[in-house]
Each structure stands twice: as C-alpha cells, then as structure tokens.
Amino acid sequence: MGFLQGKRALITGVASQRSIASGIAEAMHREGAELAFTYQNDKLKSRVEAAAAELGSNIVLPLDVSDDAQIAACFEQLGQHWSDGFDILVHAIAYAPREAIDGEFLDGLTRENFAIAHDISAYSLAALAKASRPMMAGRNSSILTLSYLGAERALQNYNVMGVAKASLEATVRYLALNLGAEGTRVNAISAGPIKTLAAAGIANFRKMLHHFETYAPLRRSVTIEDVGNVAAFMCSDLAAGVTGEVTYVDAGYNILGMTGIGDGD
C-alpha cells in the first residue's frame, strides 16, 4: 500500500509531460493518492485532461490564478467532487514577463513586471491557501510549492523571479504559522534547474544547466521524478513533523561556496 493511500491531492501547474507538477502527480498517484488537476487556459485544457486520465483522474478544472473569480469557482467546483474536503495542494505556478528574466536585473525591471511576477508566483500561493482553507482544515493536510535558489542568492538572468521566490518562501513561513493550529503543513521544495517550458523562458538556461551538472556535488542535474518523490514524501504523514521548511532537491548545489576552482574546470 502506498504512503498516500486515502489522500486527495489537487495538482496545479501541469503544462506538459516535462512539468515538475507532472512528476509530482505521477509520484503521488503511485503512492495511492486520488488526484484532481487544474489548467491555466483553454490551450492547455486537453493536454491536462489527457495527463489526468492517465493517472485515473477525471477532475480537471480551469484556474488562472490572476483571476479571483476563477480561484473561487475552482474550489466551489472541487467541493462538488470532494464534498468532505481534500488533503494536499500542490502549487507549481510561476510567471514573469520574458524581458524581466533576460539580462541585467534593472534592464527589464518595471513596476508592472515586478507586480506581475509577485502576483502570479507568490501571492497566488497565499490566495490558493486561503480559498482552500475550509476544505483542508482539520485533516492533517499539506500545501507544497516550488522555489529556486534565486530566492536566496543573486543569480544572473533570474532577476525579478528571484525576488518573487524570496517572497514565496516567506509566504510559506507565514502560512505555516497561520495554518499549523488547523493541522495544515506548508512547505517548499527548492529544485535544481530542470528543462521545462517555464525554464525555457530564462535566458542562457542551457548554460546554467551545464554549469550545474559540472559542479553540483552529485555531478548531475535533477529530474521531475527526483522532485516528485520528495514532494510525495513531504505531503504524506511520514513528514507530519515538518512545516515552514524549504527542502532542496538540487543534487547538493546549494551547499557550495565557490565553483570553478580545481576539479571540474
């Protein structure tokens, strides 16, 4: 029996088979969770429906997190399927306008780009936590989001997305404090670079991946399966004592102080 048997998980952020959310959904399904999915827009609808069907789910709901009405409608519709609540919310959503994640930090920076990156990539976690609260309270439930090292270190090209990820990680801590008394845990996984649609928007992503594979302690990049397995564990009762944490699934890259000296040059 899988360690997520009896759990219900809502998965956001599937855009392709390469999405980190797809790796998470696969691992959660393998461990026995019942799944529901959201899709951002009509272009993605049939793709997400097909992915859901492969994992035995026919609950597929529209959700653009920039729209309060869609957030409310999503959880209302979910309530029609899962009237007594659900246990896991996976937030795998981020966006910044392309010009803001290419070149120097200040070059692509505008008030609007800053606001969009924070709205879609950080505020949306709090908004979904708030909207799902009545359905998740009192069930030993778990909320999980995806972050990146750019939240803590200044990384070339990541720019305003790094600032938004810092906000996301702080939001994880405040939500963990707020929802802990109801038994809801809130955590993040900080994943190493993985070639997905979102990653393709970051300038010089291939170079970044190569650098990572050269210098990470495990001398490899990570996969959506690596992230999916840790996500399934973090959202299970095996991790019942963990909340407000950022867990790295990055082949150890974050422990490094300096790269490019000695072996691996």
Q: Give the whole-angstrom CA distance, residue 117 versus residue 123.
A: 9
Residue 148 known to be catalytic = yes
Determine if 248 is a binding residue for ligand NAD (CB under 6 A): no
Between the alpha carbon of residue 35 and those of residues 27, 118, 132, 163, 233, the distances in Å are: 11, 28, 15, 31, 16
Determine if 51 is a binding residue for ligand NAD (CB under 6 A): no
Query: Catalytic residue among 39, 95, 158, 253, which?
Result: 158
Residue found under tokens 């936590």: 129
Q: Are 16 and 10 in contact (CB under 8 A)?
A: no
Span from 126-134, 186-194, 240-248, 256-264 in contact with ligand NAD (CB under 6 A) = 186-194
Q: Cβ 244 to ligand NAD, closest distance in Å?
A: 18
Q: What is the DSSP string of 162-191?
A: HHHHHHHHHHHHHHHHHHGGGT-EEEEEEE
User: Quick one: which of 199, 223, 245, 252 contacts ligand NAD (CB under 6 A)?
Assistant: 199
Q: Cβ 165 to ligand NAD, closest distance in Å?
A: 7
SS (H, E, C) 82-135: CCCCCCEEEECCCCCCHHHHCCCCCCCCCHHHHHHHHHHHHHHHHHHHHHHHHH
User: Quick one: which of 33, 186, 198, 246 contacts ligand NAD (CB under 6 A)?
Assistant: 198
User: Quick one: which of 51, 60, 78, 92 contacts ligand NAD (CB under 6 A)?
Assistant: 92
Determine if 19 is a binding residue for ligand NAD (CB under 6 A): yes
Count CB atoms within 10 A of the CB of residue 244: 16
User: Quick one: which of 66, 77, 140, 259 contacts ligand NAD (CB under 6 A)?
Assistant: 66
* Residue 48 or 176 having the CB closest to ligand NAD: 48
Interface positions with ligand NAD (CB under 6 A) = 13-16, 19-21, 40, 44, 63-66, 92-95, 120, 146-148, 191, 193-194, 196-199
Active site residues: 148, 158
